[in-house]
Amino acid sequence: MICSRCGATIAAGNRFCTECGQPTQPVGSDTDATMVDGVGNRYVPAPSPTASTVPNGDRYVYPAPQPQPAMPQPQLSQPIRPPMPAATAAKQPWSRGQKTFVAIGAAVAAILLVIGVVFGMSMYRDAHSSPVSTASSSSDGTGGTSGSGSGETTDASCDSTPDMQVVSVERSGNDLVVTILVTSTCSDGSSTRFDDPKARITLKDASGETMADNTFDFSGKRARTVTANGTKVKVTYTPDMCKRSVTDIVDEANDDPSELIIRYIYRDRGGDSDDSGDSGDSATTDASTPPSSTLKRYENAAGRYAISVPDNFRKTGTTSDGTGFTFAGSGVTITTWRSDNTTGSAAGEMARLEANAGVPITYDLNADPSIYVSYYKGGYVYYIKEIVYADHIIGVQLKYSDEHRDVRDPLTEKIPPTLEDLG
């Protein structure tokens, strides 16, 4: 091949003239391409002579390449670092004194917690399972007090069952609190011991319907020595021990608490009762037990009358003015009273009794001054005898259910005739 520039012979396969460097193919053709960076689609053209070349003998010498101005390099931004947290002071270990103080504080707190729990449980038991063991103040009308606190040692010379009278009825939270005046019934005026561990106390309204009922523990520190002047004792009934709502009982008692009736069964002194929770008109002895054939005489000084009842019956209540007694035994409740004569005659009084019954009368008799009325009401037999005087009336009532009529009916002929006016 002949060089197109200098005419020199070019050997086959050479890409440039060995004399002048003239390329044998046009600049920019694929055969003159040079692969750069291993990428086949980028090419660098072969250098071509420029007008600035100068001959050097029969060769051309190309000028040295001119340095290219440096390209500005992009400035890499510094990575943004999160702010460092502020240095905190290192925790100092507790001193020995601090540790001791904390330990003592924890021990004191634990002891106080235990004391609080024990005290709370004790208060709950006293309020819900037993009578209040304080409140022993009582008065005989002269302003004096009698009785003493827990652990009193006054000797009791009489073992008779004490009388009870309602002094006040109030609400404490959801519970009913009844204050009772307990009075000795010893004939010689001596004191008696009130220490029954299972004393059943039933609160009734003036008509004899049960309002609240529970068995209380008066043993040990709760025991009392009761004098003729009386000792006040508080008992608490929870709502489940009440036959009516606590609010209704308190409202009714606010009119005159003394009109309420307290039924008291002293079990450790011979009294037994059914433990169904509703004493109703159950007696101190089993309802199926026949009444004793021996009668015991009771005199009522305030009402100036006397009555005799079977000696296995117990006197379970006295009215606030002292003129009325309540006895119970063999499923029979006996009530006595003295009242003013407001009708003027035996016939008028009998008419009043029959009207108050509100049911058909099964038996009546006017044997002036004595009158007799009997009727059946609410599942109970009522038998009443009154002796009508010009200015006052004394009376007795027997009440019993249909059960065991064979042992109860005979009492209507045995007890009423013993009613006696003492002038």
CA distance 289 to 40: 128
Please report which confidence band the pLDDT of residue 341 belongs to, taking 50, 70 and 90 as the band edges: very high
Lowest-pLDDT choice from 233-247, 250-264, 265-279, 363-377:
265-279
Summarised one tens digit per residue, pLDDT across range 393-409 is: 999 999 988 777 888 89
Q: Residue range 109-121: average pLDDT?
A: 82
Please report which confidence band the pLDDT of residue 73 belongs to, taking 50, 70 and 90 as the band edges: low
Please report which confidence band the pLDDT of residue 71 belongs to, taking 50, 70 and 90 as the band edges: low
For residue 258, the tally of other CB atoms under 10 A from its CB is: 15
HEC letters along 136-173 = CCCCCCCCCCCCCCCCCCCCCCECCCCEEEEEEEEEEC
pLDDT over 80 at 369, yes or no: yes
CA distance 17 to 101: 105
Q: Residue range 76-90: average pLDDT?
A: 55
Q: What pTM did the predictor assign?
A: 0.40
Spatial neighbors of 355 by CB under 8 A, at least 6 apart, are none
Half-sphere exposure of 133 (CA within 13 A, CB side): 20
Q: Residue range 387-398: average pLDDT?
A: 95
Cis, peptide link before residue 369, omega less than 30° from 0: yes
- Which domains, from first to last, does the chain contain? 159-265 (no CATH), 295-421 (3.40.1000.10)
Please give the residue that has the higher pLDDT: either 377 or 138.
377
Summarised one tens digit per residue, pLDDT across range 159-178 is: 566 778 888 899 999 999 99
